[in-house]
C-alpha cells in the first residue's frame, strides 16, 4: 500500500513538472504523518483537511518548484506548519530554505520536522518577518496575508531581481496589485485550477 501511494504521488507530481525520487517520496510521506499526528490535533492544519493532506497541502506546495531557480536561497514567509517550505525543501535539495515563523509552538514543530526528516537545506527562523535580516532570491507565501501585504513583507527581504511566489487562492483579484504598482504575472508552469493561481511578483 505504501509503495502504491508513492507511485500515485509521483505521477501527480510529475504532472506538475516535479520529478521525485524514492527518498523524496519517503520524506514527504513522513512529513504527511507528522502533520496528521501533530499539526492537525494542535490546530495548525484544519481537521477537515486531515484526509487530504497530500492534495490540499503537500502537492499544492510543490507547484512552486518550476519557479525557483536551481540553488536559490528561499524564504518561506509565515511558514506555519511548513507549507510550502518543507515540501519545497524536500523537492529542491540544492536550494536553501529559511522558514520564518513567529509563533513559538509552530516554530518548535518545524524544528522537529527538519530534525526528523534530516533536511540539511532548511533552517527555522523563529521571528516576525519584519525582524528578519537577509537577502533571498525567492520568497514564498501561502495563506500568509493579502497579495499586497505579502509583497510588502517580502520586498525588503528580496535580493535585487528577487521574486515572490504567492498562492493566490480561488478569489485572487489582480487589480489589487495593479493599484499598488506591483509587477506580477501568473505562473504557467504548474497549476491546480481549483486552488487558485500562483502569482509571481517582482521583476518580470
Say if residues 88 and 64 touch (Cβ distance below 8 Å). yes
Range of the domain at 18: 2-201
**In the chain, % of residues over pLDDT 90:** 76
- Asked if the model's pLDDT at residue 59 lies above 70, the reply is yes
Question: Per the structure, how many domains does the chain have?
Answer: 1
The Cα–Cα gap between 146 and 167 comes to 10
Question: What average pLDDT does range 37-42 have in this prediction?
Answer: 96
DSSP state of 50: G
Say if residues 89 and 122 touch (Cβ distance below 8 Å). yes
- Asked if the model's pLDDT at residue 11 lies above 50, the reply is yes
Least confident of 11-25, 34-48, 175-189: 175-189
CATH value at residue 87: 3.40.50.150
Question: Cβ contacts of residue 99 below 8 Å, gap of 6+?
Answer: 76, 79, 82, 85, 86, 110, 114, 122, 123, 124, 125
- Asked if the model's pLDDT at residue 127 lies above 90, the reply is yes
Measure CA of the first residue to CA of the last residue in the chain; give whole Å: 44
Task: Please give the model's pTM, rounded to 2 decimal places.
Answer: 0.93
Question: What average pLDDT does range 64-84 have in this prediction?
Answer: 96
- Asked if the model's pLDDT at residue 172 lies above 80, the reply is yes
Cell numbers at 129, concatenated: 518577518
Helix (H) or strand (E) holding 34: helix 22-34
pLDDT tens, residue by residue, 106-123: 999 999 999 999 999 999
**In the chain, % of residues over pLDDT 70:** 95
Least confident of 16-30, 60-74, 82-96, 188-202: 188-202
The Cα–Cα gap between 179 and 21 comes to 43
The Cα–Cα gap between 47 and 54 comes to 14
Say if residues 59 and 32 touch (Cβ distance below 8 Å). no
Q: Model confidence at 1, in pLDDT bands (50, 70, 90)? A: very low
Cα-Cα-Cα-Cα torsion 69, 20, 107, 128, nearest 10 degrees, comes to 20
Amino acid at each position: 500500500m505504501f509503495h502504491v501511494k508513492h507511485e500515485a504521488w509521483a505521477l501527480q507530481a510529475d504532472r506538475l513538472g516535479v520529478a521525485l525520487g524514492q527518498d523524496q517520496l519517503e520524506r514527504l510521506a513522513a512529513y504527511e504523518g507528522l502533520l496528521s499526528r501533530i499539526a492537525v490535533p494542535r490546530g495548525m492544519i484544519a481537521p477537515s483537511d486531515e484526509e487530504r493532506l497530500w492534495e490540499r497541502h503537500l502537492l499544492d506546495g510543490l507547484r512552486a518548484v518550476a519557479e525557483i531557480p536551481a540553488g536559490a536561497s528561499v524564504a518561506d514567509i509565515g511558514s506555519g506548519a511548513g507549507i510550502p517550505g518543507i515540501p519545497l525543501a524536500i523537492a529542491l535539495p540544492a536550494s536553501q530554505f529559511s522558514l520564518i515563523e513567529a509563533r513559538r509552538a509552530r516554530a518548535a514543530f518545524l524544528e522537529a520536522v527538519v530534525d526528523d526528516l534530516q533536511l540539511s537545506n532548511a533552517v527555522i527562523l523563529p521571528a516576525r518577518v519584519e525582524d528578519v535580516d537577509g537577502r533571498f532570491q525567492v520568497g514564498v507565501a501561502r495563506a500568509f496575508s493579502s497579495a499586497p501585504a505579502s509583497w510588502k513583507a517580502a520586498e525588503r527581504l528580496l535580493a535585487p531581481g528577487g521574486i515572490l511566489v504567492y498562492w493566490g487562492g480561488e478569489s485572487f483579484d489582480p487589480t489589487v496589485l495593479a493599484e499598488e504598482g506591483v509587477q506580477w504575472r501568473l505562473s504557467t508552469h504548474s497549476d491546480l485550477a481549483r486552488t487558485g493561481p500562483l502569482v509571481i511578483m517582482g521583476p518580470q
